[in-house]
A = this chain, B = another copy of it.
Amino acid sequence: MVDLNADLGESYGAWRLGDDDALLELVTSANIACGFHAGDPLTIRQTCARAVAGGVRIGAQVSYRDLAGFGRREMVVPAAELEAEVLYQLAALDGVARAEGGRVGYVKPHGALYNRAVWDAGQATAVVAAVRSYGRELPVLTLPGSALAVAAADAGLEVVAEAFADRAYNADGTLVRRGVPGAVLTDPDAVAARVTGLVTRGTIQAADGSDVPVAARSVCIHGDTPGAVRMARAVRAALTGAGVSLVPFA
Q: In which size bucket is the chain A interface?
A: 35 or more
Q: Which of A94-102, A171-179, A190-198, A211-219 contacts B (4 or more CB under 8 A)?
A: A94-102
Q: Which of A81-89, A155-163, A181-189 contacts B (4 or more CB under 8 A)?
A: A81-89
Residues of B within 8 A of A85 (CB): 41-42
This chain's copy number in the assembly: 4
On whether the beta carbons of A95 and B84 are closer than 8 Å, the reply is no
A135 to B67, CA, bound (A): 29
Question: Is A73 engaged at the interface, CB distance under 8 Å to the other chain?
Answer: yes
Residues of B within 8 A of A73 (CB): 75-78
Residues of B within 8 A of A133 (CB): 99
In A43-85, the 8 Å CB interface with B consists of: 44-45, 65-70, 72-78, 80-81, 84-85
Chain A residues close to B by CB (< 8 Å):
11-17, 35, 38, 40-42, 44-45, 65-70, 72-78, 80-81, 84-85, 87-96, 98-99, 112, 133-135, 224
Q: Could you name 15 residue pairs across A and B whose Cβ atoms are closer than 8 Å?
A: A12-B15, A13-B68, A14-B70, A41-B87, A65-B68, A67-B67, A75-B75, A88-B92, A88-B96, A91-B91, A91-B93, A91-B95, A91-B96, A94-B95, A99-B135
